[in-house]
Amino acid sequence: MVSLSLPRTALSLVFLWIVGALAAVDIKGRVLWNDVCANATALGRAKVVLDSGSEHAGTVTQSGRFLIPNVPVGTYILSVISHDYTFDQLRIDVLDSESSPVEVRPYIVGTPLDPPSTVLLPYPITLSAKDKFVYFSPPESFNIVGMLTNPMAMMMVFGAVMMFTTPYLMKNLDPEALEELKEQQSRVAGVQSAFASGDLKSGVSAIMSGGEPSENVSNNARTPQKSSKGSKRGKR
């Protein structure tokens, strides 16, 4: 029984292979030249593949034609692999039919294969380049407007303008306003010196009261020294 089953299995496999070979068809098509890709020289070496291309693939000739031989019945995604150009992908259905063995449909990446699209494209397949890859981006030229829109550049320009215009503004100020500005600058300088020396209490009080308590604090600091001297004289 075992000896008889082995020849039958081998015969069935051979029969299935012959049927598959008879049902297999050649996928034919052509790349049409356009403004994006003018000729085969511009296209370079390109290959048309079904799915991953590991089993069914064909090269593009100088005339733009391609042939993928012995494609069995099934559904495939046709892609053009090119170094410089992009092409649309197509859905290819190979049918066990003598009247129309190949059906071509548009395919959008990510869409399910079922149900198939109702739009049928002509066969043999025609493809054309859609866009060209750009691998080199030229450096941007100097742009004065773009430089001035930079926040850091705007701050530098504003600081330079204020540095050159402040002396002229000071000359044209009213004397009373100028005195008030000088007082404010002296108060700010006093606060900064208080913080720099580590006297946080007088610095904070100067900020809270506009600088006047710092003078009171300094006067109070001087008064005990005078009283101590007076007490020393009284003891003598």
Q: Which residues make beta-bridge pairs with 132?
A: 85
Closest by Cα among 85, 51, 83, 82 to 68: 51
Which pLDDT value is given to residue 123?
93
Q: What is the pTM of this model?
A: 0.53
For the chain, give the percent of residues with pLDDT over 70. Answer: 76
Closest by Cα among 111, 110, 63, 114 to 93: 114
Which pLDDT value is given to residue 80?
96
Compute the Cα dihedral for 221, 226, 228, 231 and give only its sign.
negative
Q: How far apart are CA 96 and CA 23, in angstroms?
A: 6
Pairing mode of beta strands 102-106, 74-81: unpaired
Closest by Cα among 95, 61, 60 to 76: 95
pLDDT at 39 exceeding the cut of 80: yes
Burial readout 144-164 (b: 16 or more C-beta within 10 A, e: otherwise) = eeeeeeeeeeeeeeeeeeeee
Q: Which residue has the higher pLDDT, 205 or 160?
A: 160
Read off the pLDDT of residues 99-125 as tens digits, 9 standing for 90 and up: 889 999 999 988 888 888 899 999 999
Q: How far apart are CA 87 and CA 67, in angstroms?
A: 17
Q: Are 125 and 77 in contact (CB under 8 A)?
A: no
